[in-house]
Chain A
Amino acid sequence: NAGVTQTPKFQVLKTGQSMTLQCAQDMNHEYMSWYRQDPGMGLRLIHYSVGAGITDQGEVPNGYNVSRSTTEDFPLRLLSAAPSQTSVYFCASRVRREETQYFGPGTRLLVL
């Protein structure tokens, strides 16, 4: 049971480039989320999903897309990276009837 996994661990992008941050969980959790963590701002919700085929926007969705084709995977796409997207990104999942979230180890993204 690997829990929540994220790849890559670290990525450097140039402005305008695109990339996908991968997130997978093997706990059969219905709910999955993407957060970004910035100094002095805590965690902010980007997008979330309550099940396969269902996604919705969080607090800071601009510049990011998501999809949820399977229960296990929840990739986050940056279509045209901007320096403002330099951050640490965390994926989290939880069971629908539980409030406790399980977080992945994070992806550190630097946009130049």
Chain B
Amino acid sequence: AQSVAQPEDQVNVAEGNPLTVKCTYSVSGNPYLFWYVQYPNRGLQFLLKYITGDNLVKGSYGFEAEFNKSQTSFHLKKPSALVSDSALYFCAVRDWAGGYQKVTFGTGTKLQVIP
């Protein structure tokens, strides 16, 4: 069975500092990996995805994520945090062979950027 873990319920970072939101996964085959962001009272918005290729994936709003197969991780990063980045971030995974319905979401990490 596939799974995804976001070990931190909340991450606090000062504005202008680099941020990292952690995600580790478990799948039986090759993974599709995603990051979504949810602002208050809104639906999830796609940030970026890893399917294959370069391990460093660049996405929306200056975010990037690094796929590390040996550590089964897909951490979300940004070089300089903005107050407007404060939101709930979800990591998701799907096994290539899992089919449409087999997308598993993490429990979410609340990012708080402090002015």
Complex Cα distance, B41 from A43, in Å, reads 15
- Is B94 on the interface with A (CB-CB < 8 A)? yes
Label chain A's interface by main secondary structure. Answer: strand
- Cβ-based interface call for B100 (8 A): yes
Interface size class of A (residues with CB under 8 A): 20 to 34
| Bound form: Cα–Cα A35–B36 in Å | 14
With an 8 A cutoff between CB atoms, is A58 at the interface? yes
Interface size on B, residues (CB 8 A): 20
A90 lies within 8 A of chain B by Cβ: yes
Indicate which residue in A33, A41, A50, A105 contacts B43 across the interface (CB closer than 8 Å). A105
Which residue on chain B has the smallest CB distance to residue A44? Answer: B105
State whether A90 touches B43 (Cβ < 8 A).
yes
Cross-chain contact of B101 among A40, A56, A104 (Cβ < 8 A): A56
**Contact of A45 with B103 in the complex, beta carbons under 8 Å:** yes
Q: Can you list 14 A-B pairs with a CB-CB distance of less than 8 A?
A: A31-B100, A35-B105, A42-B90, A42-B108, A48-B100, A90-B43, A99-B32, A99-B34, A100-B49, A101-B44, A101-B103, A103-B45, A105-B42, A106-B43
B contacts, CB < 8 Å to A: 32, 34, 36, 41-46, 49, 51, 90, 94, 100-101, 103, 105-108
